[in-house]
Amino acid sequence: MRGLGRALTLALCACTGTTGTVKLDLATAPGSRVLDAVDKLRLTITNPHQVIEAGRTAAGFDLALDLDASGVSGLVIVEGFDAAGSLVACGQSPRFPLAAINAHIVIYMAPPRSIGLAPYGRNEPRISPG
């Protein structure tokens, strides 16, 4: 995650008093500098719907959400905007349960409607069933 800081977190709390933290990191294609132009990040949780925005500071971005650990599934959408307000990078997590868990999710960021190489490859062979 080039120059954005690493403070993207979701704090989850269940009514039983147990809590969890989901740490979000952003990744790009090898050699991509798409995140360098990002001045504002928008983080959207789909269920329950919640949106938070933060501008870039000298330390990067600091976004944190406190959510009820309801057990429903949702996903995270991350959008990056430049100084003019144009969308220059976006990414989305897979669906995951909002529960009192500790997790680390890496969201692949790229320019809108683009295709690029994944930042990580699979080292082990894939085995097909049958």
User: Which domains does the chain show, CATH number per domain?
Assistant: 7-108 (2.60.40)
Cα–Cα–Cα angle for 116, 96, 81, rounded to 5 degrees: 45
Region of residue 23 (phi > 0: left; psi between -120 and 50: alpha; otherwise: beta):
beta
Amino acid at 15: C
Q: Chunk the chain into consecutive blocks of 10 residues (it has 130) and report each block's average pLDDT, rounded to whole numbers.
A: 49 62 81 91 88 85 73 87 96 82 82 71 52
Rounded Cα distance, 38 and 44, in Å: 16
pTM of the model: 0.75
Rounded Cα distance, 4 and 78, in Å: 13
